Structure 1
């Protein structure tokens, strides 16, 4: 008899960057129940670059996905915000459009546990006040996707 697998999904959204070493450690210990994930993330050590995460099974790809709009010249930012309601609604006065947002799809996932372990990778309140450029960045170099 056919028994469907209990697939589920959830979005992970945060407006705080990942600490590079903690997040890489999380990626290296990927939860086995997550079979697919895709979206963007904010890495403190690469503050100007939007990063892309794409995972399917045992394959995980991390690459650049262009600059955050917040890094554009002031005039360009104003024009983009006038035209893009969603971006304007989510705009942060300090960090602009920088954020993490990806979907995780899996089998019998404990979404709360996964969220909690990802949250442990985010910068703490004290780290948010530090110079993020001094931290070791263990990720390989990547360039924005075309």
Structure 2
């Protein structure tokens, strides 16, 4: 899979709040995707990324574009081009595409799920990354303020979270550029009767690796990828959102302020 990006406009588009419909590029009335979500999707799952119009930007600008691409896709072959000209052998019959590996290609997935053998992006491109993990729920008001604040230097953030007011539900956070979204993914396995769990040793091992004797698989697990981001400050802000488990009783938190939108019919049930 080959993706072509415009060196002159990528940084501007990545920080845009536009939807595809705003650019006249939607697939129809039901296509509510944002411009940045499409950019991210196309870069994260590409085998080859061609940075076109490389001659129209400064070396510093081009270096930042390369860092952005590398931050989104750790394994892509990155090529620079003028007028879209690249050697045909670089894009045809490359043998690079592997459907099974496509899901592990984004850098956030490598960091979050611990896929081995990915190259040290910080050494080659100056891209930084870290995973925030905690075994305590977030205060929804504090975490909502954090997720809405914008984070200097962060290019991509992804992961799942646990709210004190929704102890049974997995929340998902996804950030790219200027856009941050949250949604409900479903229930934690700890909230599902064991007789409804999938069969198989692989599932038992995957859940067992993340299991806490009190809270089960409930946890915070968020990856942040950026250039020049302040990891210590981000960790401090996230720690400030936590509710200490020694003082946490789910029943007490029911009905407290929770500014997050309802997560479908589940929250209403």
Report the TM-score when normalising by structure 2. Answer: 0.49
When you count strand as a share of all residues, which structure comes out higher? 1
What is the match of residue 169 of structure 2? 49
Instruction: State the 1:60 CA deviation.
Output: 0.9
Indicate if the aligned counterparts of 1:37 and 1:102 stay in contact, CA closer than 8 A: yes
1-structure distance, mates of 2:200, 2:132: 25
What is the match of residue 94 of structure 1? 214
What is the match of residue 138 of structure 1? 259
Instruction: State the 1:129 CA deviation.
Output: 4.0
1-structure distance, mates of 2:139, 2:200: 29
Measured on the aligned residues, the alpha-carbon RMSD in Å equals: 2.3
Taking a change above 3 Å as real, the CA distance of residues 20 and 80 of structure 1, as seen in their structure-2 partners, is: farther
SS at match of 2:159: strand
Taking a change above 3 Å as real, the CA distance of residues 87 and 26 of structure 1, as seen in their structure-2 partners, is: same
2-structure distance, mates of 1:73, 1:122: 27
2-structure distance, mates of 1:127, 1:121: 14
Deviations 1:18-72 (A, max 9, x none): 1000001111212122121011111111111101111101111100101110111
Question: Number of paired residues?
Answer: 144
What is the match of residue 76 of structure 1? 196
Deviations 1:69-112 (A, max 9, x none): 01111333595777431311221121111111121111101211
Taking a change above 3 Å as real, the CA distance of residues 80 and 112 of structure 1, as seen in their structure-2 partners, is: farther
SS at match of 1:109: coil
SS at match of 1:61: strand
2-structure distance, mates of 1:77, 1:136: 32
Say which structure, 1 or 2, has more relative contact order (CA 8 Å, 6+ apart): 1
1-structure distance, mates of 2:200, 2:216: 12
Taking a change above 3 Å as real, the CA distance of residues 136 and 122 of structure 1, as seen in their structure-2 partners, is: same
Gaps of 5+ in 1: none
Instruction: State the 1:113 CA deviation.
Output: 1.4
